[in-house]
Amino acid sequence: MKKHRLIGLAALLALATSCGKDVADRISLFANSMGGAAKVWMDPANVNSATWVAGEGINLNGTTYAITANGNGGGYSLEVEPLAEDMYAVYPATMASGGNDITVENHDASGATITIKSLAVDFRDGGHRIVFPMAEKADANATSLYFDHLTAGLRLTLANSSEDGIAVDHLKVVVQGTAAAPAVPIDGVDYTVAWAVQGPTTPSGDVGGIVGNREVTYSSEMNFQMQTSGTAGVTVPASGNIQFCVPATMRNVKRLSITGYDAAGQQLFTKSKDLDTPLNLAVNHMYNIPSFNIN
């Protein structure tokens, strides 16, 4: 029998199902919180608020099904009858719109691979939406899917000390460490998540300009389309900041750099940060990164 994972109270409240529709016609969705953190919508200051987003897709045994809200705050489900075979579910399904560019290859019992080219960070409703990859294996005829996270998370802060707001269209975040995160096993099935531009690297910089210990051998390039209620662009307010959480696919983090661009593709800023203590990243945990002052 499949074991039931522990689900946090906040996640149960946010992702519980209602009894308005015959459970034989749907599969209810649940998810572990990320050490008290994110799924697809969250308030970065109150990450237990995370919920699913209706209309996004889940790949179930190779077929995409849309996430549906049950109504009256009654949680979320897939509008499909439980399958009469073992179920292998991956969130998200392949996406290529709205700032998200993600490819999912779900090979059921042989595992799955999620490759991320870009993610939308959509600020709305007092928080923001962003995809955090998850997966689940369930027995045949199961009426619920209990998802586990497949990555660690980084909580990033961009601070603006100037007297004018800074409008950011998209960001490139390069995370440097020593290796990629390993595949995540769930009930004997391996799931791998990686950014499309990820691999071995060497220290870089102007001749004579590399200072200090740059013992980094692997990097991940993460691209984010910044949005406000689905419209391109986010303004970092004057004398203020924005904060958001992103999935990380590295085994550890020693150095980060963030470059911001405007809508015309012109560079607005680029900032780097060496961590005083390298972070070893564990799946299902969120890590706070010291603030970047972008001006």
User: What is the per-residue pLDDT across 6-18, written as a single tens digit (0 to 9) for each?
Assistant: 444 333 323 333 3
Alpha-carbon distance of 47 to 175, in angstroms, equals 22
pLDDT above 90: percentage of residues in the chain: 69
Report which of 247, 34, 4 is spatially closest to residue 133, judged by C-alpha positions: 247
The winner for highest mean pLDDT among 37-46, 69-78, 157-166, 196-205 is: 157-166
Which whole number is the average pLDDT over 84-88? 97
Q: Which of 63-72, 198-207, 212-221 has the lowest mean pLDDT?
A: 198-207
Measured distance CA(210)–CA(208) in Å, rounded: 6
Q: Is the pLDDT of residue 72 over 50?
A: yes
- The answer to whether the beta carbons of residues 257 and 216 sit under 8 Å apart is no
**Radius of gyration (C-alpha) of the chain in whole angstroms:** 20
Please name the residues in contact with 254: beta carbons below 8 A apart, sequence gap of 6 or more.
176, 177, 178, 215, 216, 274, 275, 278
Q: Give bridge partners of residue 50 from the DSSP assignment.
A: none
pLDDT tens sequence across 262-294? 999 999 999 999 998 899 999 988 899 999 999
pLDDT digits (tens, 9 = 90+) for 139-153: 999 999 999 999 999
Tell me what the mean pLDDT of segment 22-28 comes to: 74
Confirm if 103 and 48 have CB atoms less than 8 A apart: no
Q: pLDDT band at 109, cuts 50/70/90?
A: very high
CA distances from 117 to 59, 206, 222 (A): 18, 28, 8
Residue 85: predicted pLDDT:
97
pLDDT of 101 over the 60 cut:
yes
21 has a pLDDT exceeding 70: no
Q: Please report, for the chain, the start and end positions of each structural domain, with discontinuous segments joined by +.
A: 9-293
Of 225, 192, 266, nearest to 96 (Cα)? 225
Q: What is the pTM of this model?
A: 0.86
**pLDDT of 52 over the 60 cut:** yes
Per-residue model confidence (pLDDT) at position 268 = 97
182: pLDDT strictly greater than 90: yes
Average pLDDT over the chain reads 85
pLDDT number for residue 199: 93
Residue 35: band (very low, low, confident or very high) from pLDDT cuts 50, 70, 90: low
**pLDDT at position 2:** 43
Q: What is the dihedral of CA 137, 282, 58, 2, to 10 degrees?
A: 20
Residue 171: name the closest of 251, 244, 280 by CA: 244
When comparing pLDDT for 4 and 260, which is higher? 260
- Greatest alpha-carbon pair distance for the chain in Å reads 68
pLDDT at 31: 85
Query: Would you state the pLDDT for residue 221?
Result: 96
